[in-house]
Amino acid sequence: MALPKELRYSEEHEWVKVEGNTVRVGITDFAQSELGDIVFVELPEVGTELKVNEPFGSVESVKTVSELYAPISGKVVAVNEELNDSPELVNESPYEQAWMIELEATDLSEVEKLLTPEEYDKLISE
């Protein structure tokens, strides 16, 4: 399972891609494979303020429902509406097409507290 090197990862299996002061968030390939076939994604409204580790939505699979947690604090500035009609994109393209939200970061230094690809790889290998 190849991990994109430009991303950071949370222990709750979210990934983060920094683009200026905006952060794109999704779930990892490992998380989607553990969940199985994704049938529904619930995401917050644009404008929602999130604190680090606060739930912001959920992913429903044929097996279970799993909470999504904010890897950093910020304001939701975009939501991937495509997931409403095509939740299976989470299984097919977790790092490209299935991003979930974009946050305007409150404090970008929180990204430094997230796991590097190597640290996340070690976490999921244990």
Instruction: Note the pLDDT tens digit of each residue in 68-120.
Output: 999 999 999 999 999 999 999 999 999 999 999 999 999 999 999 999 999 99
Report which residue type is found at 26: G
| Tokens 């553990």 sit on residue | 34
In the chain, % of residues over pLDDT 90: 95
- Please name the residues in contact with 23: beta carbons below 8 A apart, sequence gap of 6 or more: 16, 17, 71, 72, 74, 102, 103, 105, 108, 111
The CA distance from 88 to 92, in Å, is 6
Q: What is the pTM (predicted TM-score) of this model?
A: 0.94
Bridge-based pairing state of the strands 65-69 and 14-19: unpaired
Q: For residue range 56-65, what is the model confidence (pLDDT) as tens digits?
A: 999 999 989 9
